[in-house]
């Protein structure tokens, strides 16, 4: 190793050391002994226009009442290579114990989408909204100039599993807003069902961003394409259940895969599978 390479290695090591938050929260399934950074398996696999985040490389934190997996850096999990995918900043896969939850806390300037996968989530906020969101519901909050809210598992006897997704707003400091829609699960069998869009008159909850989200419940062998709505946007796919191939990349349960600089994506189900597609601006 020449001097220049040595200095580069030392530099990257210093960055890792300053990000101790990441090392405090081990990624699930990472049982490799730490013998040097070069020997660690890569947590993020990138090509010219794709990024792959395998499920077992996500940041993981178990707080007792909350077991959570962070696809991107969040709270005390910090990995400088995994901060965001364009405007998509947070993708948390949360499991909350019965009756437990997030007490009242502030939020501002973020578009927050919650998608329950199992169980019921009780929501209260400073705008006066009190609601329970269930499987097949999608909730959105534009935190804008600032709100307070709480989220609890409605049931005492079973866990709630939900996806918490944060997207950077297109316009900062808008008036806070809440919306919730129930979707028919049969409308996404072998179809991509639009659940989020930037147009108030289009299907799905409205988002303050040029972003479109779709859910699909695809049966084994089914294949389709996803056409990008806005030039320059990227698409981040999150596999909720099963196995899929997207843009020639094989994916398994809870893997994340981002693609950009494309107009269209090919999707095929290698088993019965559920997928969430999040199209977001990349700049």
Of 267, 255, 261, residue with least CA distance to 91: 255
Q: Which of 26, 108, 225, 261 binds another protein (CB under 8 A)?
A: 108
Measured from the CB atom, is 174 or 181 closer to another protein? 174
Q: Which residues does residue 193 pair with via DSSP β-bridges, in sequence order?
A: 215
The stretch near another protein (CB under 8 A) out of 3-11, 153-161, 177-185, 197-205 is 3-11
Spell out the SS3 assignment of the chain.
CCHHHHHHHHHHHHHHHHCHHHHHCCCCCCCCCCCCHHHCCCCCEECCCEEEECHHHCEEEECCCEEEEECCCECCECCCCCCCECCEEEEEEEEECCCCEEEEEEECCCEEEEEEEECCEEEEECCCCEEEECCCEEEEEECCCCEEEEEEECCCCCCEEEEEEEECCCCCCCCCEEEEEECCHHHHECCEEEEEECCCCCCCEECCCCCEEEEEEECCCCEEEEECCCCCEEEEEEEEECCEEECCEEECCCCEEEECCCCEEEEEECCCEEEEEEEEECC
Q: Which of 4, 31, 200, 231 binds another protein (CB under 8 A)?
A: 4
11 binds another protein (CB under 8 A): yes
The stretch near another protein (CB under 8 A) out of 141-149, 226-234, 238-246, 258-266 is 141-149
The stretch near another protein (CB under 8 A) out of 41-49, 108-116, 128-136, 239-247 is 108-116
Q: Which of 89, 123, 188, 254 binds another protein (CB under 8 A)?
A: 89
Residue whose tokens read 């696999």: 45
65 — phi, psi (to 5°)? -75, -20
Measured from the CB atom, is 74 or 213 closer to another protein? 74
Rounded least distance, CB 4 to another protein, Å:
8
Q: Which of 29, 42, 80, 99 binds another protein (CB under 8 A)?
A: 80
Cα–Cα distance for residue pair 22/18, rounded to 1 Å: 9
Rounded least distance, CB 164 to another protein, Å:
9
The stretch near another protein (CB under 8 A) out of 27-35, 106-114, 155-163, 186-194 is 106-114
Measured from the CB atom, is 15 or 127 closer to another protein? 15
Rounded least distance, CB 170 to another protein, Å:
13
Measured from the CB atom, is 87 or 251 closer to another protein? 87
Measured from the CB atom, is 43 or 214 closer to another protein? 43
* Binders of another protein in range 14-73 (CB under 8 A): 14-15, 18-19, 21, 73
221 binds another protein (CB under 8 A): no
The torsion angle over the Cα atoms of residues 237, 240, 242 and 248, rounded to 10 degrees, is 0
Measured from the CB atom, is 143 or 160 closer to another protein? 143
Contact residues: another protein, CB under 8 A:
4, 7-8, 11, 14-15, 18-19, 21, 73-76, 78, 80, 83, 89-90, 105-110, 143-146, 148, 166, 168, 172-173
């Amino acid at each position: 190793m020449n001097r220049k390479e040595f200095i580069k290695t030392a530099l990257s090591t210093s960055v890792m050391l300053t990000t101790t938050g990441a090392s405090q929260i081990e990624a699930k399934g990472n049982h490799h002994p730490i013998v040097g950074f070069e020997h660690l398996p890569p947590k993020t696999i990138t090509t010219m226009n794709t990024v792959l985040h395998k499920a077992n490389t996500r940041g993981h934190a178990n707080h007792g009442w909350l077991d959570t997996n962070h696809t991107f850096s969040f709270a005390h999990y910090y990995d400088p290579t995994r901060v965001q995918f364009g405007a998509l900043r947070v993708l948390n896969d949360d499991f909350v114990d019965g009756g437990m939850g997030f007490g009242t806390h502030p939020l501002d300037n973020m578009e927050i989408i919650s998608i329950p996968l199992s169980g019921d989530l009780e929501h209260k906020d400073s705008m006066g909204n009190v609601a329970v969101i269930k499987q097949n519901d999608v909730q959105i909050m534009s935190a804008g100039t600032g709100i307070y809210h709480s989220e609890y598992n409605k049931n005492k006897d079973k866990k709630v599993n939900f996806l918490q997704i944060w997207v950077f707003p297109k316009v900062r400091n808008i008036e806070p807003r809440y919306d919730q829609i129930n979707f028919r699960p049969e409308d996404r069998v072998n179809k991509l069902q639009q659940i989020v869009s930037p147009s108030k008159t289009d299907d799905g909850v409205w988002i303050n961003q040029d972003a479109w989200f779709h859910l699909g419940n695809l049966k084994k062998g089914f294949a389709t394409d996803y056409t990008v709505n806005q030039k320059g946007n990227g698409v981040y796919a999150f596999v909720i259940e099963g196995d899929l191939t997207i843009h020639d990349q094989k994916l398994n349960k809870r893997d994340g895969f981002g693609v950009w600089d494309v107009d269209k994506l090919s999707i095929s189900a290698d088993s019965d599978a559920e997928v969430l597609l999040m199209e977001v601006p990349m700049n």
